[in-house]
């Protein structure tokens, strides 16, 4: 089982390597892949060093699985080349997510759709993954009509450049800017690029990806995505209108029983999800569960997860595990 990690020297790529090692992923050969400027560098995995190769070399090595986290342009160009060589690609960029020919997968929700013919599989947006991990069991029971979500997103979602900007601003140093404004002691209602409709690309991902993953065009989602000076994970304030009424205790039970979700909700002792709990953890944490008294059949929740792990690397590795466990590669 040869596994390539494309973008192995990047922020998500590093976490992919870490998650593969932590989960004792059954690979026999690791192929770390990066841009030409990183070729020849060494990455550590399972106590050994592996030399970084370029994309062309990696394709010629014909890995069974390639985990991509190298940006949309790279994915559009190279994922088909890997697929033509017989490799199953799991892509973390937005390049293939809304393509009708490509599955968009959260393993706990819709991995059963995967077949041996799926050679380029899309990993959803980080904010979408944690949102749907909490929505899926409730949708199955009460049928969601509308979701209003406001995100509070970690700078790590932008990458190393954003982390450096925050560190520089915190230290009072000049440096390269990842954002059009300071992020230290600030909140930017601006994640990704603005679209013609006034929403950002990130906000539209939450809308469109939700419908695709739930396979339900009737679920309406409207989002406001905000970048905040946090390193450890994304948070979401979510208001959900259902077709059916619900019982709050049953909601908590449904969430707690859903794999990968942990309810952390006891306001009487100040227990609620926060990024400091989520960082380094693969679970999606849900709290502040309460009825919205302004209209019928409506619920408020607060959802937090590590955007680099379940929101990216871990979800991709879980897809790969599913493929192996079900003899699909």
The dihedral built from the CA positions of residue 175, 177, 181 and 183, taken in this order, carries a sign that is negative
Sheet with 144-153: strands ordered across: 220-227, 144-153, 234-242, 298-305, 284-291, 261-263
The structural domains of the chain, with segments of one domain joined by +, span 2-124+312-325, 127-307
CB atoms within 10 A of CB 1: 13
Show the DSSP H helices in 23-125 as ranges.
55-60, 72-84, 107-110
Residues with catalytic roles: 126, 234
At 234, give phi and psi (nearest 5°): -95, 145
Rounded-to-integer distance, Cα 132 and Cα 109, Å? 8
Query: From 3.40.50.450, 3.40.50.720, 3.20.20.70, 3.90.420.10, which CATH number describes the 2-124+312-325 domain?
Result: 3.40.50.720
H/E stretch holding 263 reads: strand 261-263
- CATH fold label, 127-307: Dihydrodipicolinate Reductase; domain 2 (3.30.360)
Instruction: Please give the average pLDDT of every successive group of 10 residues along the chain, which has 329 residues.
Output: 96 97 97 94 94 98 97 97 98 97 98 98 98 98 98 96 97 96 98 97 98 98 98 96 98 98 98 97 98 98 98 98 97
The DSSP symbol for 272 reads -
The interaxial angle of helices 126-142 and 201-214, nearest 10 deg, is 40
Tokens of 225: 């995505």
Same fold, 2-124+312-325 and 127-307: no
Burial class (CB in 10 A: 0-12, 13-18, 19+), 44: exposed
What is the reported pTM? 0.96
Q: What is the per-residue pLDDT for 232?
A: 87
Query: How far separated are the first and last CA of the chain, in Å rounded?
Result: 9
Alpha carbons within 13 A on the beta-carbon side of 14: 8
Q: What is the per-residue pLDDT for 203?
A: 98
At 45, give phi and psi (nearest 5°): -155, 125
- In DSSP terms, 32 is beta-bridged to 5
The DSSP symbol for 194 reads B
Q: What is the per-residue pLDDT for 3?
A: 98
Tokens of 194: 């603005």
């Amino acid at each position: 089982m040869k596994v390539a990690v494309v973008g192995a020297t990047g922020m998500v790529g590093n976490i992919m390597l870490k998650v593969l090692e932590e989960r004792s992923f059954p690979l026999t050969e690791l192929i770390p892949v990066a841009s030409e400027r990183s070729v020849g560098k060494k990455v550590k995995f399972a106590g050994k060093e592996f030399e970084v190769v370029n994309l062309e070399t990696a394709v010629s090595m014909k890995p069974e699985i390639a985990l991509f986290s190298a940006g949309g342009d790279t994915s559009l160009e190279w994922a088909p080349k890997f697929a033509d060589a017989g490799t199953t690609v799991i892509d973390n960029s937005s390049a293939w997510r809304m393509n009708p020919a490509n599955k968009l997968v959260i393993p706990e929700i819709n991995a059963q759709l995967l077949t041996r013919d799926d050679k380029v599989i899309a990993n959803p947006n980080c904010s979408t993954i944690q949102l749907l991990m909490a929505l899926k069991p409730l949708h199955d029971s009460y049928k969601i009509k509308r979701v209003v979500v406001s995100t509070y997103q970690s700078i790590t979602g932008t990458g190393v450049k954003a982390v450096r900007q925050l560190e520089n601003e915190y230290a009072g140093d000049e440096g390269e800017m990842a954002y059009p404004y300071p992020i230290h002691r600030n909140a930017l209602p601006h994640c990704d690029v603005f679209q013609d409709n006034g929403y950002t690309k990130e906000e539209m991902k939450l809308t469109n990806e939700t419908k695709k993953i739930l396979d339900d065009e009737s679920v309406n989602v409207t989002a406001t995505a905000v970048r905040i000076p946090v390193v450890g994970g994304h948070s979401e304030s979510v208001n959900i209108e259902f077709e059916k009424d619900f019982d709050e205790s049953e909601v908590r039970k449904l969430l707690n029983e859903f794999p990968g979700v942990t309810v952390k909700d006891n306001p009487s002792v100040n227990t609620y999800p926060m990024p400091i709990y989520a960082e380094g953890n693969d679970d999606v944490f849900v709290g502040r569960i309460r009825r919205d008294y302004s209209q019928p059949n409506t619920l408020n929740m607060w959802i937090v997860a590590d955007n680099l792990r379940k929101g990216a690397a871990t979800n991709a590795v879980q897809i790969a595990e599913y493929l192996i466990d079900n003899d699909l590669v």
